[in-house]
């Protein structure tokens, strides 16, 4: 079916009404990301933005949303009327950077990608901020909001936390102390006085960290002058590093030992310094093993160690060796105490294998507690004896005779000691010879030669001669041969005697008994001769000639006048031609006159002058190769 449409034209009458609008009100600027609302007094219109890249607006709401910085024209249209307003969009600051915490008294810097703004805050009791710099300084603990404002009033906010500083007070204690003995393990402990401080520890020695030493305690064996330190670090905000150190002193006292030997005696004085208390070892024979000063008489060469302890209990040691290789002894007297105790002592070594005798040393004695003392140091191992004699006083009819250890006039019966390197004693009790005065006189000579009966004899000077009691063999007196080998004993009471040469190198055959009585008070020619014997290593003394009886003109010598007032004649008869000598002694044996006598003929006479001698009794001796004459001589002026 075909439809037919009929178009009817309708005439519309449009009436245009004009409204009174405007002005547009509201904020005409905003920040990106923010909105503002525009209004008009006449509602119902439509809002539009000419630059939607800068801002858009709700067509019916008038709410402008800032998109990017710039300007846009906003129009409001109602009916045939419209109004416009320019809206500026400002950039909004970005996220504030620069840290969210700061310590009291410290400063951090805040910044924003949008520059040119200003910084402000209202919590100035907690923090301050630089207006244009953004530097925030902590004032007191707490939180504070910092505002950054750019053009257009765009702002960004940041919260800054201000933390108070933690000041740890750290100290190190050392156990057993900062001053210790060598080799002591020291434990160091930290003490922290600030609460809430949980540190991490780092120990160091002389500034060098010790690997693994991260606990609150640290132990090691320090050396002298080590500086032991600890560093305390914490993850807590504003916790300062704590540091302390301890200087270690290793206390090792320097102990020094010295020794002084007594000027007389075998005693040493040991002295130690450097400690508070002391201990000596070995302590045997020591007067005070725990004293700083002690005395000791070592029985052998010994090394002594002293340990000194100071106030900290630390110890130091020193050693000192004392010589103990000695032969020593005391000398006492078997008779009256002499006016002087000064003695001379010889050390004599005796070899019992070959019978050899050798004097090694001699010394003058000293006094220990008023007792005569001698000492020989450093002698080699061997068998020894000693001999002592008085230093002062000449040999006489009474007095102390040279005496061997322990108390004998003869070396062959002397006490000996088998010395090693220890301290050995040989004491001597001096023998006192006593003999009352009398009229007797015994003389003789001592020679040495190649063998018994041989010629060419020589005088043996300095030989010790003993006068013994023939019955008891007790030594009554002694003398020495002079340079010519002559000896004599005078002022002897009548009795029976033996002459005995004594020296440590010789064996002796003593004389036969010599009898002095009223018919024979002067005896001469008691001669001895030293001979070499193949049997003995020690040379023997053998009685060479024994003439017992009074020596008068029968010997071919006559003296006259006797008594004499000064001039004395000496006549000889039937003698060998040659030199002779004349000696006059007083009754004590002291030589007071000596002269040569030249026998140019077998018989002759000479005169000597004795006027310088005072009145008294004397003895005269005439000696030559075959003459040995002695006689009493009385001088009276």
Pairwise CA distance, residues 17 & 1, whole Å: 47
Mean pLDDT score across all residues of the chain? 84
Q: Residue 536 — pLDDT band, cuts 50, 70, 90?
A: very low
Percent composition of the chain: helix, strand, coil (DSSP 3-state, to 5): 0, 50, 45
Q: Give the strand order in the sheet containing 170-175.
A: 170-175, 186-192, 217-220
- Please check the confidence at residue 126 and state whether its pLDDT lies above 90: yes
Instruction: Kindly report whether the global pTM for this prediction surpasses the value 0.85.
Output: no
Please check whether residue 38 is in contact with residue 62, taking contact to mean a CB–CB distance below 8 angstroms.
Answer: yes
Residue 118: predicted pLDDT: 95
Phi, psi (degrees; rounded to nearest 5) at 511: -70, 165
Which residue, chain included where needed, has tokens 């000419």? 50
What is the SS3 assignment for 155?
strand
Which residue, chain included where needed, has tokens 């991260």? 214
Look up the CATH architecture of domain 553-635. Answer: Sandwich (2.60)
Fold of the domain built from segment(s) 101-163: Immunoglobulin-like (2.60.40)
- Please check the confidence at residue 16 and state whether its pLDDT lies above 50: no
Please check whether residue 502 is in contact with residue 464, taking contact to mean a CB–CB distance below 8 angstroms.
Answer: yes
Pairwise CA distance, residues 628 & 637, whole Å: 28
- Please check the confidence at residue 279 and state whether its pLDDT lies above 70: yes
Of residues 131 and 440, the one with the higher pLDDT is 131
* Region label for 514, one of left (φ > 0), alpha (ψ between -120 and 50) or beta (otherwise): beta
Look up the CATH architecture of domain 256-322. Answer: Sandwich (2.60)
Q: Residue 534 — pLDDT band, cuts 50, 70, 90?
A: very low
pLDDT digits (tens, 9 = 90+) for 468-513: 999 998 999 898 888 888 888 888 888 999 999 988 777 788 888 9
Q: Residue 71 — pLDDT band, cuts 50, 70, 90?
A: very high
Please check whether residue 164 is in contact with residue 104, taking contact to mean a CB–CB distance below 8 angstroms.
Answer: yes
Question: Domain ranges in the chain?
Answer: 1-90, 101-163, 170-250, 256-322, 326-433, 440-545, 553-635
- Please check the confidence at residue 547 and state whether its pLDDT lies above 70: no
**What is Dmax (Cα atoms) for the chain?**
231
- Please check the confidence at residue 404 and state whether its pLDDT lies above 90: yes
Of residues 2 and 225, the one with the higher pLDDT is 225
Residue 441: predicted pLDDT: 84
Q: Choose the weakest-confidence range: 16-30, 66-80, 557-571.
A: 16-30
Residue 67: predicted pLDDT: 95
The CATH code belonging to domain 1-90 is: 2.60.40.1080
pLDDT digits (tens, 9 = 90+) for 192-204: 776 566 677 888 9
The CATH code belonging to domain 440-545 is: 2.60.40.10
Residue 549: predicted pLDDT: 38
- Number of helices (H) and strands (E) in the chain: give both, helices first: 0, 58
Q: What is the DSSP string of 208-238?
A: EEPTT--SSEEEE---TT-EEEEEEE-SSTT
What is the SS3 assignment for 205?
strand
Residue 588: predicted pLDDT: 54
The CATH code belonging to domain 326-433 is: 2.60.40
Query: Residues of the chain with pLDDT > 90: what percent?
Result: 39
Which residue, chain included where needed, has tokens 């993850």? 235
Pairwise CA distance, residues 49 & 56, whole Å: 6
- Please check the confidence at residue 54 and state whether its pLDDT lies above 90: yes
Pairwise CA distance, residues 518 & 146, whole Å: 152
The candidate with the shortest Cα–Cα distance to 361, out of 372, 345, 342, 338, is 345
Residue 396: predicted pLDDT: 62
Residues facing residue 567 across a β-bridge: 609
Pairwise CA distance, residues 474 & 492, whole Å: 15
- Please check the confidence at residue 465 and state whether its pLDDT lies above 50: yes
- Please check the confidence at residue 553 and state whether its pLDDT lies above 60: no
Pairwise CA distance, residues 379 & 327, whole Å: 8
Residues 6+ apart with CB under 8 A from 434: 335, 398, 476
The candidate with the shortest Cα–Cα distance to 271, out of 223, 241, 220, 308, is 308
Residue 195: predicted pLDDT: 57
Residue 144: predicted pLDDT: 94
pLDDT digits (tens, 9 = 90+) for 579-602: 888 888 775 556 788 888 888 888
Q: Are β-strands 326-333 and 423-425 bridged in parallel, bridged antiparallel, or unpaired?
A: parallel
Q: Residue 412 — pLDDT band, cuts 50, 70, 90?
A: confident
Count the alpha carbons within 13 Å of 10 in the hemisphere toward its beta carbon.
4
pLDDT digits (tens, 9 = 90+) for 220-232: 999 888 888 888 7
Which residue, chain included where needed, has tokens 């003490």? 191
Q: Residue 522 — pLDDT band, cuts 50, 70, 90?
A: confident
Please check whether residue 230 is in contact with residue 172, taking contact to mean a CB–CB distance below 8 angstroms.
Answer: yes
Residue 592: predicted pLDDT: 82
Check if 101-163 and 256-322 are the same fold.
yes
Pairwise CA distance, residues 177 & 313, whole Å: 12
Pairwise CA distance, residues 61 & 31, whole Å: 19
Residues 207-217 have a mean pLDDT of 89
Question: Where would I find the H helices in 483-625?
Answer: none
Of residues 196 and 430, the one with the higher pLDDT is 430
Residue 12: predicted pLDDT: 35
Residue 633: predicted pLDDT: 83
Phi, psi (degrees; rounded to nearest 5) at 202: -140, 115
Highest CATH level, class, for 170-250: mainly beta
- Please check the confidence at residue 259 and state whether its pLDDT lies above 90: yes
Q: Choose the weakest-confidence range: 2-6, 246-250, 279-283, 313-317.
A: 2-6
- Please check the confidence at residue 3 and state whether its pLDDT lies above 70: no
């Amino acid at each position: 079916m075909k439809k037919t449409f009929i178009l009817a034209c309708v005439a519309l009458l449009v009436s245009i009404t004009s409204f009174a609008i405007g002005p547009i009100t509201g904020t005409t600027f905003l920040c990106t990301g923010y909105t503002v609302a525009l209004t008009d007094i006449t509602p119902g219109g439509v809002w539009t933005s000419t630059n939607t890249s800068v801002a858009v607006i709700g067509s019916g709401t008038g709410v402008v949303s800032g998109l990017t910085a710039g300007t846009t024209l906003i129009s409001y249209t109602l009916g045939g009327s419209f109004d416009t307003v320019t809206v500026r969009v400002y950039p909004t600051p970005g996220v504030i950077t620069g840290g969210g915490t700061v310590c009291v008294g410290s400063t951090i810097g805040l910044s924003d990608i949008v520059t040119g703004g200003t910084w402000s805050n209202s919590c100035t009791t907690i923090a301050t901020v630089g207006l244009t710099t953004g530097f925030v300084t902590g004032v007191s603990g707490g939180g504070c909001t910092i505002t950054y404002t750019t053009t257009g009033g765009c702002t960004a906010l940041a919260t800054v936390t201000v933390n108070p500083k933690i000041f740890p007070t750290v100290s190190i204690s050392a156990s057993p102390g900062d001053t210790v003995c060598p080799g002591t393990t020291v434990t160091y402990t930290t003490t922290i006085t600030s609460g809430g401080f949980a540190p991490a520890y780092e120990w160091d020695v002389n500034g060098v960290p010790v690997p693994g030493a991260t606990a609150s305690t640290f132990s090691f064996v320090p050396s002298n002058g080590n500086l032991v330190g600890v560093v305390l670090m914490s993850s807590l905000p504003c916790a300062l590093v704590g540091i302390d150190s301890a200087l270690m002193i290793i206390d090792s006292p320097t102990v020094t030992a010295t020794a002084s030997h007594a000027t007389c005696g075998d005693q040493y004085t040991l002295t130690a310094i450097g400690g508070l208390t002391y201990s000596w070892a070995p302590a045997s024979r020591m007067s005070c093993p725990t004293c700083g000063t002690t005395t000791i008489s070592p029985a052998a060469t010994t090394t002594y160690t002293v340990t000194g302890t100071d106030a900290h209990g630390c110890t130091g040691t020193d050693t000192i060796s004392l010589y103990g290789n000695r032969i020593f002894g005391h000398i006492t007297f078997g008779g009256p105490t002499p006016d002087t105790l000064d003695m001379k002592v010889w050390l004599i070594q005796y070899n019992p294998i070959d019978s050899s005798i050798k004097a090694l040393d001699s010394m003058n004695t000293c006094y220990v507690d008023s007792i005569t003392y001698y000492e020989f140091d450093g002698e080699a191992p061997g068998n020894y004896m000693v001999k002592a004699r008085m230093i002062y006083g000449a040999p006489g009819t009474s007095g102390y005779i040279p005496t061997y250890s322990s108390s004998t006039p003869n070396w062959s019966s002397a006490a000996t000691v088998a010395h090693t390197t220890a301290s050995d004693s040989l004491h001597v009790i001096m023998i006192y010879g006593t003999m009352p005065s009398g009229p007797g006189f015994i003389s003789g000579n001592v020679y040495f030669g190649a063998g018994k009966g041989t010629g060419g004899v020589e005088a043996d000077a300095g030989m010790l001669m003993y006068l013994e009691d023939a019955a008891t063999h007790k030594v009554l007196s002694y003398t020495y041969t002079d340079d010519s080998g002559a000896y004599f004993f005078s002022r002897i009471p009548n009795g029976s005697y033996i002459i005995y040469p004594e020296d440590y190198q010789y064996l002796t055959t003593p004389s036969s008994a010599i009898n002095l009585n009223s018919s024979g008070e002067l005896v001469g020619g008691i001669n001895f001769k030293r001979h070499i014997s193949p049997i003995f290593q020690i040379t023997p003394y053998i009685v060479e000639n024994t003439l017992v009886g009074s020596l008068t003109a029968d010997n071919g010598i006559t003296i006259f006048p006797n008594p004499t007032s000064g001039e004395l004649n000496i006549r000889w008869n039937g003698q060998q031609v040659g030199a002779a000598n004349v000696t006059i002694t007083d009754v004590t044996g002291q030589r007071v006159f000596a002269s040569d006598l030249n026998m140019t003929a077998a018989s002759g006479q000479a005169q000597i002058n004795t006027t310088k001698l005072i009145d008294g009794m004397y003895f005269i001796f005439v000696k030559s190769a075959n003459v040995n004459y002695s006689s009493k001589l009385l001088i009276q002026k």
